[in-house]
Chains A and B, each alone.
Chain A
Amino acid sequence: MNSHKVISIRNLTPSTYVIRMEKKDFTFRTGQYITLGFSGSIDRREYSIYSAEQDDYLEVLIKEVEDGLLSKRLKKCKPGDELDVDGAFGHFSLKDDEIKSKKFMFISTGTGISPIHSFIHTHPEMDYTLLHGIRHKEEAYESESYDPNRYILCTSGENTGDFNGRVTEYLLKNPVSPDTICYLCGNCHMIYEAYDILEKQGIKLGPIHTEVYF
């Protein structure tokens, strides 16, 4: 475990923020997560890495959870604070031999877009479609950083996105072609339902690419 200095905090909405930290000699595979906590504290939580492999800083995208311990405390961090970073962990990663040759469907809800952001910014040349499910348009975190032709915003709480409804409803109306490689990240219910839909649509998922936050 190493201590990393906070460089900046970027507030994206009143409750969601990006912490940028110094990278030091930390290495990871895009899609992996770290565990984060205040230096010396035993309370630690998992966060997907938001930044790209080649960036010279480390970023995480965090949403405050109601009654949450760490997501609230981390929001109050200041530049110069020290955070303990452990990792990188996880097997939610791209396969080298598929990156350039395959078509990808990324399906995420809320901050589940974080590892996808890292995928796309590490490999901008990928052939992908990104579905991002949120309630209100303000939660379309840094949507301008994706190719608008590849980014589909699904808003379930209001009709302000590209699609009005949940990502699962979008998938039912817009079947995914079976030769697509799918990565699902976010809450358990979305992943469970989306997996089922994709399977019925004939996707040969191969190993399951899922990252459950909650």
Chain B
Amino acid sequence: MKTIAFKTLGCRLNQYETDALASTFQNNNYKLVDFESEADVYVINSCTVTHQSDHKSRNFISQANRRNKDSVLVVTGCMANNAKEELESRDEINYVLENDNKSALFSLVDSHFKGELKHPSQLDKDLFAYGATEKGFHTRSMIKIQDGCDNFCTFCIIPSVRGRAKSRPFQAILDNVKAVINQGAKEVVITGVNIGRYEFETYKFDDLIEAILNLDGDFRLRISSLEPDGFGDKFLGLLSHPKMTPHLHLCLQSGSDEVLLRMRRMYTVKTFRNTVEKVRAIRPDFNFTTDIIIGFPGESEADFTESCDMIKNLEFGHVHAFKYSIRKGTRAERMTDQVLEKTKTERSEILRGIAENSKLNYRSQFIGKIQRVLVESTDGNTAKGYGEHYIPVQFEGENLKKNTFYSILIKDIAAENDGLLLGELV
């Protein structure tokens, strides 16, 4: 039996695609092994959103090659699009597979072992031809609804590596969701690059979410990352649906309107705040998590303070903060007033401290309350999983099972352990 190991970087969409690809290999008699083990095939599903992600991807390529020089090494994902020539010139890499060919990975590797060497350009191009993820790595079942983005934020490389926005046919998504529920999935996660812009025939994003929520079955629905534009009140109304989890990752990027304009984001601080307030007026403990870019060109001390204030005021449950790094080919690359690295680092430290406090404050409100936790890992006696608000919870019991819901009374928060909630069975 051949062995295959994956390393996934970056976004949830990459994670979903890896899960689906891994399932296809498993269904075809490949053994999935850890990336740290020796394998016959290594797949690096790369990311290129920051310099750091490029750096990490390069590191993993070297590691895979060191582990087994004779392995088949495939690099796919956004770096494969963005640095194709560089990657193709490296002898240790067998195949560089761009995003639009990624779903054909199995066919490429399978042909390789059969002695038929295919060039990636001969493969099928289909952004949605991924199999189900039944034997993947997660209890949550991710469903890809669209790919690509047409927003062209000035800092972002994604439109040039993921291409233009394309939505998956409405019925195919519903069929996919029904199939994973029938296979036992308890949590369905909607994923894509810019899912709020979903549009297929007359169906928009909110129509799709409504249709999924109306499906039968004991499951809950989670929306992954959403841009703060492109959805309306109908969607906000759906957030109160009993199957919808009270959590949104809504990407703020900056708390300064001037910076948002230069980023060409399509909302203002006020409209962002209004969205949060509208949702929390109905459900005060709703979990908003977000992304913040630190040190975007021209970001002044005052702009930065506005970002910090937004985090304090909106009490985000988690902030994914990263320092701005120039991406070649983006508009922001050509902006003249780049912020010094030293300043970005100082601001990062300040913002991380504030974000940490905000997270602990937000999460502390759950002490004394009940969370419905879906267990993702357990040894039978200790289990870890996520509550409906997408906060990690740990608890003890007997015979605890993976992919099962448990009602847990939250007793404490482990501040030293990244705000993990500690609870007990009720």
Contact = CB atoms under 8 A, between A and B. Distances in A.
B226 to A, nearest CB: 16
Contacts of A191: 261
B368 interface: no
B261 A192 contact: yes
A42 B84 CA distance: 15
Interface string B257-285: 11001101011101100000000000000
Interface stretch (A12-20, A99-107, A144-152, A204-212): A204-212
A195 interface: yes
B152 A89 contact: yes
A91 B165 CA distance: 13
A182 B268 CA distance: 15
A91 B266 contact: yes
A189 B259 CA distance: 10
Interface in A155-214: 188-189, 191-192, 195, 199, 207-208, 210, 212
Contact of B152 (A46, A188, A192): A46
B150 interface: yes
Interface of B is mostly: loop
B268 A188 contact: no
A169 to B, nearest CB: 19
A208 B268 contact: yes
A207 B231 CA distance: 10
Given A42-B329, A195-B268, A210 B150 contact: no
Interface residues of A, number: 15
Contacts of A192: 257-258, 261
A36 to B, nearest CB: 14
B229 interface: yes
Contact of B271 (A42, A89, A208): A208
B336 to A, nearest CB: 10
A189 B264 CA distance: 13
B150 A188 contact: no
Nearest to A89: B150
A192 B264 CA distance: 12
Contacts of A199: 270
Given A89-B152, A195-B268, A188 B261 contact: yes
Nearest to B154: A212
Contact of B267 (A46, A89, A188, A208): A208
Interface in A75-133: 89-91
A212 B264 contact: yes
Interface string A27-57: 0000000000000001000100000000000
Interface of B: 150-152, 229, 257-258, 261-262, 264, 266-268, 270-271, 329, 331
Given A90-B152, A208-B267, A210-B261, 5 more contacts: A89-B150, A192-B257, A192-B258, A195-B268, A207-B229
Interface of A: 42, 46, 89-91, 188-189, 191-192, 195, 199, 207-208, 210, 212
26 contacts: A42-B329, A46-B331, A89-B150, A90-B152, A91-B151, A91-B229, A91-B266, A188-B258, A188-B261, A188-B262, A192-B257, A192-B258, A192-B261, A195-B257, A199-B270, A207-B229, A207-B266, A208-B266, A208-B267, A208-B268, A208-B271, A210-B261, A210-B266, A212-B261, A212-B262, A212-B264
A-B residue pairs, 9 tightest by C-beta: A188-B261, A212-B261, A192-B258, A188-B262, A89-B150, A212-B264, A192-B261, A191-B261, A208-B268
